[in-house]
Amino acid sequence: MPVPPPTCTLEIKAVPNAPRSEIAGWLGDALKVKVQAPALAGRANDALCGFLADKLGLPRRAVTLLRGDKSRRKAVRIAGLALDEAKRRLGA
């Protein structure tokens, strides 16, 4: 029986309308991410997931929003990586 690929959940503090998309560091257990897209019609959420997928070296579909659709505090699901590897790739 094949082993399922690892998945993890990452807490995010999102800051929309930033001059550029970037990782701003850790706030406790949450990763602070500045996103260039505005918080309109889900554009910042899409940009956040795409940005994280790019930083992690994963396809866009591997990063999905679990909760926090209209909040700055979000949780994203990362398919294909364990939490320690995701944190390492994000510079934790």
- For residue 12, being part of any structural domain is answered with yes
> For residue 20, is it within any domain?
yes
Structural domain contains residue 13:
yes
The pLDDT of residue 1 is above 80: no
| Domains held by the chain: number | 1
pLDDT at residue 92 tops 80: no
- Percent of the chain whose predicted confidence (pLDDT) is above 90: 89
Q: Residue with structure tokens 């934790």?
A: 92
Domain contains 22 = yes
Tokens encoding 62:
């591997």
Q: Is residue 1 in some structural domain?
A: no
Average pLDDT over residues 18-28: 95
Q: What is the mean pLDDT of the chain?
A: 94
What CATH number has the domain bearing residue 27?
3.30.1200.10
CA distance 44 to 34: 10
Domain interval for residue 55 = 7-89
Please indicate, yes or no, if residue 17 is contained in any of the structural domains.
yes
Q: What sign does the dihedral 57-33-4-84 (CA atoms) show? A: positive
**Confidence check: pLDDT of 3 > 90:** no
Asked whether residue 61 carries a pLDDT value surpassing 80, the answer given is yes
User: Tell me, what's the pLDDT at 91?
Assistant: 83
